[in-house]
C-alpha cells in the first residue's frame, strides 16, 4: 500500500494572510496536498493539514520550518495560545501503509534536519520522545519567554543543541516535533459565562484534572473578536467518543446558565464526531458508518480504480526500463497500492472480478 502520512504544522502567526499563502505554497512545492489551512488573530496561530508520502512530508517540514524561522519573530509576537516556537508544533500521523514506528522514525529524522540545517532546536514529544509520551503541556509551560529566561522545568526539557541562550533560537524558539495518532482539535464558543467560569469548566473536563481521558482544554477570551472560547484537543480520537465529550460540555455549560453558539474544528472533521452527532440530534435509526453515502461511493470508485491499476501493472511488466523516469516512479507507486490491497483482502487480483 502506498505510504501516506498526515502532518499538522502549527505556526505562531495568525494575523498575516500573505504568510499563510506562502506556507501553503511551500508545502505544496514539496509535493504534499494541503487539505486545510486556517488562521486566528486572537490565537495568533496558523494551522495546516498536509498529507503525503514520508519523503514529501519530510521535505515539506524543512521548507516550512525555514520559512517560519525567516518570517516569525517571537520576541514581537503575542497571542492567547501557548507557544514556544515559530513553527511551534510539527506532528506526524500515520494514515495508511505506515506504522507508528515509521512515523516516529520520520519525526526524529525531521527534528535532526531542523537542528543540522536550520540551527533550530527541537523538543521531541508523544511517540517521538525518549521515553515516549512527553506532552506538549509540560514543554510549553511558561512559553517562549520562560525558555529565553532559562526557566527550564527539568534538565531534560532543555534542547541540547542550537544557538542562543540555553540552546534556544533567539527569534524562532524551539520546535516541538512528534509522532502521534489522529487528534481532534476543536474550539467551542460559549455565551452567558464569564472567563473565570469557563476556565472552571475546562478544568472539570480535561484529563489532567480528572476529566475525560485524552482531553486537553483551555478557557480563552478572544478580545479582538468578542468571543469566549473553550479550546480543546482530544488525543487518539479513533479510540475516544468525541461527541460524548461535547455532550458533557454542553450539559455543564447549560447548568451554569450559558449556551454553546459555535463549534469550530481545526483541520479535518473526523467521522467519529459527525456520525455520532447526527445519530444523536436526528435520532437516526441504525447509524452505521457503512451506510454513509460518500464513504460507499468512495469505496466503489476505489475498487474500480484498483482493478484498472492492476491491469496497468500487468501490462507494464517487463517494460519498466523502457519507460521514462517519472512513469517508472508512478508504476512503482501503483505496485505498492496493488500489493497493499491484496494483503488487506487476502485475495488475488483475479478473485476481485473483472480485469486483473
- Summarize pLDDT for 38-48 with one digit per residue, the tens: 999 999 999 99
Inside any domain, residue 109: yes
Do the beta carbons of residue 107 and residue 124 sit within 8 Å?
yes
Examine the fold and report which residue of 179, 210, 244 is the final residue of a domain before the chain moves on: 179
Inside any domain, residue 33: yes
* CATH, residue 236: 3.30.70.670
Residue 155's pLDDT band, with cuts at 50, 70 and 90, is low
The residues near 217 (Cβ < 8 Å, ≥ 6 apart) are 201, 202, 203, 205, 206, 211, 230, 231, 232, 233
Domain that includes residue 203, residue range? 184-290
Do the beta carbons of residue 159 and residue 99 sit within 8 Å?
no
Grid cell 534556544 is found at 168
- The predicted structure's pLDDT at residue 346: 46
Q: Does the bond joining 131 to the residue before it have cis omega, within 30 degrees of 0?
A: yes
- The predicted structure's pLDDT at residue 163: 57
Same domain, 28 and 150: yes
Inside any domain, residue 215: yes
CA atoms within 13 A on the CB side of 314: 11
Inside any domain, residue 296: no
Average pLDDT over residues 212-217: 95
Same domain, 278 and 308: no
Listed residue (157, 159, 171) closest to 111, CA to CA: 159
Average pLDDT over residues 298-315: 83
Q: Is 81 noted as a catalytic residue in this protein?
A: yes
Same domain, 72 and 151: yes
Same domain, 119 and 214: no
- The predicted structure's pLDDT at residue 272: 87
Average pLDDT over residues 101-125: 95
Average pLDDT over residues 80-91: 96
Inside any domain, residue 39: yes
Judge whether residue 273 has pLDDT over 60.
Answer: yes
Cell numbers describing residue 45 = 496561530
Q: Which of 81, 169, 212, 300 is catalytic?
A: 81
Q: Where are the beta strands (DSSP E) in the chain?
A: 4-7, 10-11, 33-40, 45-52, 87-96, 122-126, 175-179, 184-191, 215-222, 227-234, 259-266
Inside any domain, residue 297: no
Inside any domain, residue 150: yes
Inside any domain, residue 40: yes
Examine the fold and report which residue of 179, 214, 244 is the final residue of a domain before the chain moves on: 179
Stronger pLDDT, 9 or 330, i.e. the higher one: 9
How many percent of the chain have pLDDT more than 90?
67
CA distance readout (Å), 340 to 122, 138, 238, 306, 347: 34, 39, 22, 11, 11
Judge whether residue 327 has pLDDT over 50.
Answer: yes
Same domain, 266 and 195: yes
Average pLDDT over residues 143-159: 75
Examine the fold and report which residue of 179, 199, 231 is the final residue of a domain before the chain moves on: 179
Do the beta carbons of residue 258 and residue 191 sit within 8 Å?
yes
Same domain, 265 and 332: no
Full DSSP string of 43-99:
TTEEEEEEEE-HHHHHHHHHHHHHHHHHH--GGG---SS--SBSEEEEEEEEEES--
Per-residue pLDDT tens digits for 225-254: 999 999 999 999 989 999 999 999 999 999
Taking the model in full, what pTM does it have? 0.85
Same domain, 114 and 191: no
Same domain, 175 and 279: no
Do the beta carbons of residue 7 and residue 90 sit within 8 Å?
yes
Name the strand (E) or helix (H) holding 329: helix 325-345
Residue 152's pLDDT band, with cuts at 50, 70 and 90, is low
**Number of domains making up the chain:** 3
Amino acid at each position: 500500500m502506498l505510504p501516506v502520512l498526515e502532518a499538522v504544522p502549527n505556526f505562531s502567526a495568525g494575523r498575516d494572510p500573505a504568510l499563510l499563502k506562502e506556507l501553503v505554497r511551500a508545502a505544496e512545492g514539496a509535493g504534499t496536498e494541503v487539505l486545510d489551512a486556517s488562521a486566528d488573530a486572537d490565537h495568533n496561530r496558523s494551522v495546516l493539514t498536509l498529507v503525503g508520502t514520508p519523503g514529501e512530508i519530510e521535505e515539506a517540514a524543512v521548507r516550512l520550518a525555514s520559512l517560519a524561522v525567516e518570517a516569525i519573530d517571537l520576541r514581537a509576537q503575542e497571542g492567547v495560545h501557548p507557544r514556544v516556537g515559530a513553527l511551534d508544533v510539527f506532528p506526524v500521523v500515520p494514515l495508511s501503509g505506515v506504522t507508528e514506528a515509521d512515523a516516529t522514525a520520520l519525526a526524529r529524522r525531521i527534528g535532526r534536519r531542523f537542528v543540522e540545517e536550520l540551527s533550530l532546536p527541537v523538543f521531541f514529544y508523544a511517540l517521538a520522545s525518549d521515553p515516549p509520551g512527553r506532552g506538549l503541556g509540560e514543554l510549553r509551560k511558561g512559553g517562549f519567554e520562560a525558555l529565553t529566561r532559562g526557566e527550564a522545568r527539568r534538565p531534560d526539557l532543555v534542547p541540547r543543541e542550537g544557538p542562543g541562550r540555553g540552546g534556544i533560537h533567539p527569534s524562532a524558539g524551539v520546535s516541538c516535533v512528534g509522532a502521534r495518532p489522529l487528534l481532534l482539535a476543536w474550539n467551542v464558543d460559549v455565551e452567558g459565562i464569564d472567563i473565570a467560569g469557563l476556565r472552571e469548566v475546562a478544568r472539570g473536563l480535561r484529563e489532567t484534572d480528572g476529566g475525560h481521558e485524552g482531553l486537553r482544554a483551555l478557557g480563552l477570551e478572544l478580545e479582538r473578536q468578542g468571543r469566549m472560547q473553550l479550546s480543546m484537543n482530544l488525543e487518539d480520537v479513533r479510540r475516544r467518543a468525541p461527541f460524548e465529550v461535547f455532550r458533557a460540555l454542553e450539559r455543564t455549560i447549560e447548568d451554569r446558565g450559558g449556551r454553546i453558539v459555535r463549534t469550530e474544528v481545526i483541520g479535518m472533521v473526523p467521522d467519529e464526531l459527525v456520525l455520532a452527532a447526527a445519530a444523536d440530534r436526528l435520532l437516526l435509526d441504525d447509524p452505521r458508518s457503512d451506510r454513509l453515502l460518500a464513504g460507499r461511493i468512495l469505496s466503489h470508485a476505489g475498487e474500480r480504480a484498483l482493478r484498472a491499476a492492476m491491469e496497468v501493472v500487468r501490462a507494464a511488466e517487463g517494460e519498466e526500463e523502457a519507460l521514462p523516469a517519472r512513469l517508472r516512479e508512478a508504476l512503482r507507486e501503483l505496485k505498492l497500492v496493488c500489493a497493499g490491497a491484496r494483503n488487506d483482502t487476502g485475495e488475488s487480483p483475479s478473485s476481485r472480478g473483472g480485469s486483473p
